[in-house]
Structure 1
């Protein structure tokens, strides 16, 4: 499976460059502000154009990954990864952002890529392989391909996955549970459910119980406490139920 770069920002970048050139040509000599605006528009458009038109390749196959993108170039075998995970990238406000693909390097990984992230389940140092906002394919398509080719190495730990009616969208308000901590607990629980590993499920349940026993941190602005408590109760029940399945991905 070969992914394709998302070029939705290309028309806006071209418009910025063309508009800046037109404004610059129409600006009268001595008028500084229009010239600065025109130059800024051209610079912004040029930066976006360079990013959109830069060579890109990301292919998933039986042997591994073939990657050619900014900051990461190479062909990586599956045995060069201890684990791969698809997660919702954290944002500054604590809410989940666009999905990204992470890889935990194994002993055979060639030097070069820097570990700038953590595996969502066990916190091991991981490489950010792909920001899915950069490609046209959906997270579900990527997850299906990785499940097929990477096998047990891959975990889909996105918090947006459904769980038979369990609502994981929480109301935000004053004096609620801190969002980043809640998101972390849910992400680990969902990853354990996706792996269908009893020991991982029990570990995730234990983490939730310990966090609640110690008291979930409260922030000036956070998630509704009643909604979170109800969701965590049901997550704990699902983690205890050995027949529970978070999701099924077609091979």
Structure 2
């Protein structure tokens, strides 16, 4: 929704923007970035969710992929990291993703009691506001005002600094918070055990060898990356928790 709103205001291709937005997180693992770090540590060569998203639309969804344009695939691949997408629509999705996760993570931390509203940096609140809708509106309006007739999508220095301050605050108070870190380790442990089980018991998970389409490790990554949080927990419980002990 954020990406489409910005694209519409800038008279960009809304359908291209939304296609990138819909596809950009298809490769995300259960438990978000915690799960991504777990698979990156286990899989030879590492694991990145943006590359996995591209793999989903090019290979996994059906043989030969789903025939997306180069512009959509470029936007999916480059929605994260330092390299900018080649299209303005891809850049819109990239910056909209940043807006969304910062604001959603603040809301989640507030609901979870990890932070209080008064903890949010005053320097950011003065520029962006102290409420969810106010922050998003300020960021979106600033992007639209600063990106018109320009070769890239950007925020003003003032709003970008306020946004960066929020992100730094989240790292200090939420992402590396001791309680959050404990849950992070639990999530990584679950995926590690599921990965090892799949690699050590491939016939059980993937069927007979003639049905395999890649290495066992690669298939294990695809298998786990396609799980939801709940399904991963359910599979872990099914495989490793004795019946009658999980109530």
Same fold (TM over 0.5): no
Higher strand residue share = 1
Q: TM-score, normalised by structure 2?
A: 0.24
Q: Which has the higher contact order (CA 8 A, sep 6+)?
A: 2
Higher helix residue share = 2
Q: TM-score, normalised by structure 1?
A: 0.24
